Each structure stands twice: as structure tokens, then as C-alpha cells.
Structure 1
């Protein structure tokens, strides 16, 4: 049984059909990339999976549960986590407190009222910061980080609740080549406990980390398969790679 399955997903905005009968299947501990030209429907599909948009038609199942009409909060409780392209860390707080707040979002109101979480979660905060090579900056304000480091911090925050599925929308946008390389290295270990759906324009980056790719064009699924299968697909080469 797939971890996530989206079937017959269409999304219409007025006279614009952003998605037309799109489908996507993601297994446990699979890294799955969404690629396609600008305007192909990648981000719209991601939003339909995350609950930021409700499909005009179709069904989204997660862990064998129909979540098509679930809110983003309900999806998070079910085990999904999302990081959009725009960084949303709290810039005036330290890195430590950004991670702590992400962890505290999983705590009960009683624990928060009686301040039981900070000491209990200290080790987990430091472990998350170390995992994303930020532990030396733990007590710096998030605003002092480079763009790439802020992206790493936000990914760490998205993983704080140990989701079963992480959705990343263009996480390497604006990064240097070295930051992109490091981002790939930082993401690889999460496969031990988490699946990944990633929208990305950097084809070299996405080919290096993903097990499977789905290609969209004009709101439709053009092809889906392993990286090798997509690279060898003549239709993909003609429609997508020549536009990229």
C-alpha cells in the first residue's frame, strides 16, 4: 500500500485548468521529485497534496486514509509536513528557539502551561541543529543566517515532529552551488524514517537525490518513473528538457 496516493486530481481556477486528471503515488521512504516547465502545475499539485488548495475533482489518500478535504493542520497531525519556497523562520528568535517552538507544537497545552517542554526537549533541539550543521549558531538570531542556512533551519523545523512525509517546494532556490550540494547531503539521512516529495528546477540536484520523478506539462502528467526511465523518455526530452 503506497504511503500517499493522489488520483484524478484536477484544479480549475475560473477559466484556467491548472491540473487536469493528475496522479501521483509515493511509497514509504521514497524520495519523489516533481519537475516540469514553469506553469506546468507542480506547485498547484503540491498545494493540493498539502491542503493549501482543495482539488476541484479527485482524491488524495495518505496512510490509507482519504484526506482530500483535510485542512493543513489535520494533515500535519496525520504525519505530513510542508515547507514552501518562501522562508518562514522567526528571524528575531534564536535558531534554538525556532526549533524548540516547532517541537512544542507537538506538545500538550498542559505541558506548555507548566513549562515542562524546554528542558525535556533540549537534547532533541541540539540534535536537530547538529543534523543540519547549525549547532554552532544555536543561540544566534535566525536573521543572521545566510539564505541557505535559513532554508536548512526551516527544513529542520519541518522535520521536528518526525513526519512520515515531507513536502518541499523549491528548497534550493537562491542557493549557491555549494549550498545546493550540502542540502542534498543533509536530506539523504531522513530517508531512514521519512518520505519526500520535492518540487525543484535544478535537474542535477533532483536527479541526485530522488528515487522516482514525475513530469508535468500544462497541468497533465507527462511521465512518471525512475530517474533513468525519465532521462530516456523521448517525449520528456522533447517537451520538457528542451524548454528547461
Structure 2
């Protein structure tokens, strides 16, 4: 069953065509990778899906609804969450309070104003920290975490709203090889409750994580299919390996 369907999506920045008639289908319960050379439109596509960029033409359907013109907060309420490449956390709050604030925001303003929510949400907050191996850093300021841990924290925040679809833009950028390996391990369990679309340059990472790949080049879909099909694709090999 298709959770996300993008049809004929085009995005113009002045005279520059960043997306040129993109078609994309993401099935529920899958991990879907977006790969391609630098400047191929991967991040622009994620932002268009999330509502950060308004498409010039085309349509986006999510969970049976047309969200092409929906504001970002309405898409979030419908179950769509985006983590940008640069971590966006509250560095002067503790790691625990970052997660708590995200959980409170999920339940709206009354929850944010109620001091009782810390006790009510404590078990869920600690479980979210444990899921991304941050329990022992719960009381530390988020700004004191390593780069990789800050990325894990933000993924945890993005999952706090219990999204149906999580969009990740280069979550392993700047990580060590060990941190990248751990990131893959930490993401795999979310498959049981959340579909994933991920932009990533680390080919080994994305091959080991994703079921399906879409390859972009110059704002267009170059090819799509299983990891094995993309590995055998001559046109992908010619374009992708020469420009990444």
C-alpha cells in the first residue's frame, strides 16, 4: 500500500529547475533511500514533501490525502516528520528535557503548560533516550553531546510525534564509521511502526538499511528499484559514480 505518492513534481528557483517532473511512490512499512550526485535534487524533494518548499507544479499525496498545498504543521499533524541535515536541538537544555519538550509539544499547548506532564511522560522520555543509547547522557546539556549523539537525539525528537513517515536528510553526515554503523542499528527497529525516506551519500550505509532506492540526477528520476536492481543498473553506474 502506498503511503506517499509524488506525481510530476516540479520546483523552480527563478530559471533553475531543481525538480523536473519527479514521480515517487513510498510504500508503508518500507525504508526508501534517495541517492544521487550532489545537486541532483534530493534535499529539495524532501523539503517539498515536508512543506518547506512549495512545488511549482505536480502533486503530493500522503496517507490518502492531497497535501500539495498543506502547511508544514498540518503535514506534521497528519503524521509526517522531517529531520534536516543540520541538527536542530536546544543545546542549553538537558538531553532529557529536549525529549520531554518534544513529547509535550505532541500533545499541544495544555501539555506544555502543565508541570504534571514531566511525571506522566517520564517513562516515555526515558524509553526514547534508551532507544538511541542516550540514557547515560540524560542529565547532560544537549550541546555537550558528540556530533553523532546530537544527530541521534534529533532523530528521537522527530519520532516523538509518532509519525507514520520520517524523512531523514543525510543523518550520518560528519559521523565516524562506527557512529554510522550504530545509526543503522538504531534505525532498523523503527520499521515496525514508522516508514522511512532517507537521503544519504554513504552507499554502503543505505544499501544495508533500505528496501528500495530511487536515484535522482539533475532533478529527475534516473532509475528506481531494489538495491540489487540499482547495483546492476548501467545508467546509474555511469552517472552516479562519475558525479558523487
Runs of 5+ consecutive residues of structure 1 not aligned to the other structure? none
1:155-174 residue pairs with structure 2 within 5 A? 155-174=155-174
- 1:147-171 deviation line (CA, Å, top 9, x unaligned): 0000000000100111100000000
Q: What is the DSSP-based 3-state SS (H/G/I as helix, E as strand, rest coil) of the residue aligned with 2:106?
A: coil
1:62-77 residue pairs with structure 2 within 5 A? 62-77=62-77
> Does structure 1 residue 38 correspond to structure 2 residue 38?
yes
Deviation (angstroms), 1:86: 0.6
- 1:49-88 deviation line (CA, Å, top 9, x unaligned): 0100011000000000000011111111000111000111
> Is contact 2:216–2:223 with CA below 8 Å preserved after alignment?
yes
Deviation (angstroms), 1:241: 2.0
Residue number in structure 1 paired with 2:234: 234
Give the TM-score of the pair, scaled to structure 2. 0.98
Runs of 5+ consecutive residues of structure 2 not aligned to the other structure? none
Residue number in structure 2 paired with 1:204: 204
Residue number in structure 2 paired with 1:50: 50
Residue number in structure 2 paired with 1:136: 136
- 1:132-188 deviation line (CA, Å, top 9, x unaligned): 000011010011110000000000010011110000000000000000000000000
Residue number in structure 1 paired with 2:120: 120
Instruction: Please say which of residues 90-99 and 109-118 is displaced more in the overlay.
Output: 109-118
Moved over 4 A (4+): none
Residue number in structure 1 paired with 2:19: 19
Give the TM-score of the pair, scaled to structure 1. 0.98
Provide the aligned C-alpha RMSD in A. Answer: 0.9
Once residues 195 and 55 of structure 1 are traced to their aligned partners in structure 2, the CA distance between those partners, rounded to angstroms, is: 23
